[in-house]
Structure 1
Amino acid sequence: MAEYSPVGLAIIAVIMACVVLLNGYFWKRFVDAEEVRQHLQDGTCEIVSPSHYSSGWKAGWEFPITGPSWTDVPCSLNLKVKGDEEIAGKTSLHFTYWQGIVWDYVQDSCSKLIPTKADKPFDCAYLLGEHGGLSRAYVGNVGDLPRLPLLFLMKACGLSALTLGPFLLICIGTARGASRAREIVPEGENTAYAPLESGEGGG
């Protein structure tokens, strides 16, 4: 049976731990995004004091090959929301800026997007916090928002197929090889010294 050095086994263990953690992160990201989408409610939003805001970190997303691409632009500001009840407070309002083949990094900003919704109320989707109040809001109804959970699901499935798939195949191959070895060499039999059979009529 082949022996492996402790250093080699440690390196393999570290690599596999990193692969598992990375897969866990991708799948958790999908679960969190899906949970947010399931709890979004449609309503009507109105920006209070449009000139008082702060910009958050933008994130660009794109479905592979022919899918849509967009920038998620979060802007922290005072917002009034009317849905099942009326809620007002400071929250993060997310704008969806749809991108084309060539991405526009100038227009996808809070300074450009807030004025487009500052004059009158607009359709929005909002998420309530665990203890009440606004957690965040999105410009447009739930059905108008990009399918970010679907994109995260595709990425998680792709990563698992490329990383965990080969590892499982290796484990299955190793297990089959060990099983065949046990069938060929019975357990407890020493093959180094096979018993000599005496020939017929030997002296």
Structure 2
Amino acid sequence: MSGGIIALIVIGVIVLIVLFWAVAQYNGFVRLRNLVQESWRQIDVELHRRHDLIPNLMETVKGYAAHERGVFEQVAAARSAAAGPVSGPADQAAKENQLTQALGRLFAVAEAYPQLRASENFGQLQAELTNTEDRIAAGRRFYNANVRTLNTKVETFPPNVIAKMFGFQRAEYFEVDNPAVRNAPRLDFNGNGPILDR
């Protein structure tokens, strides 16, 4: 074998290695992008469940505190905004933030009505909402972990070369801005009266 043929074989092997690496990187980006989208859809399902529970919760509270119209209007407006179209996870997080704050005010109203707190329907709705909030929090952690992995790969060299070539971009985190509402509102009815715990 002449030196030219060996050089061509070496170049061919190097090209094949680079090609296989590029294909592997591309497929990795596709997998990560799909994982981020799938984990967002799981959050979306739980958010819809949360939005569906709120009208029933409001109706139950209205049965005991119908004169609290301002609170009901705030919750309804925040629910409509959160359930409406959004531009992405950050926008959804901001709207969910407002809804969580409005729900906190609704639960504060409920504290003033012992008969409401004792209502089986209210207790069931509250438990379902708390369960849904927990599932949203777990989904948010899973989604954000996937976003972090994708974003790291998009930004690190040499995978970022493939990302730029094929248009893979950073994904948005789903985060609550206000630390006071990072946890779901939870009522704790101890022997001394209700406490709104965040």
Shared fold per TM-score greater than 0.5: no
Pick 1 or 2: higher relative contact order, CA cutoff 8 A, min separation 6.
Answer: 2
The TM-score by the shorter chain falls in which range? 0.3 to 0.5
TM-score (structure 2 length as normaliser) = 0.33
Per the normalisation by structure 1, the TM-score is 0.32
In our comparison, the structure showing a higher alpha carbon Rg is 1
